[in-house]
Amino acid sequence: MSNEEYLKLIPEKLCEEEINDGLITVLFIKKPSIIEKIFFRNLINKPHKIDLDEIGSFIWGEINKSNSVENIVELTKQHFGEKVEPAENRVVQFMKQMHSTKLIMLYEKQGID
């Protein structure tokens, strides 16, 4: 899928989060492997954590079921300016990573005719 196709999608969060000092930590339960089920039963339902940096925390905060990826790119540019360039590539890459690890779902925008 090209960056242009990603820009039209609407992301939705699929996991919980914690906010510490303005930075977000994403919490998720990973599907355990067979080895983990056998040897690490006590850790199976323990949430895994991903600490986001300032830019990742801002992007995550803009995911709200109505902002398209394109809107989030524009908001990120407005907030960070040159610091985030190339903004489109960075935001799309963030969305790809979050989607591939099943932390967000990406939907096509439903138009009303």
Amino acid 34: pLDDT: 73
Element (H, E) at 11: strand 9-13
Number of H helices, E strands in the chain: 5, 5
Block means of pLDDT (10 residues each) for the chain, 113 residues, are 85 92 88 67 73 95 93 96 93 94 88 45
Amino acid 113: pLDDT: 39
Phi/psi of residue 66, nearest 5 degrees: -125, -25
Instruction: Work out the number of other CB atoms within 10 angstroms of the CB of residue 17.
Output: 17
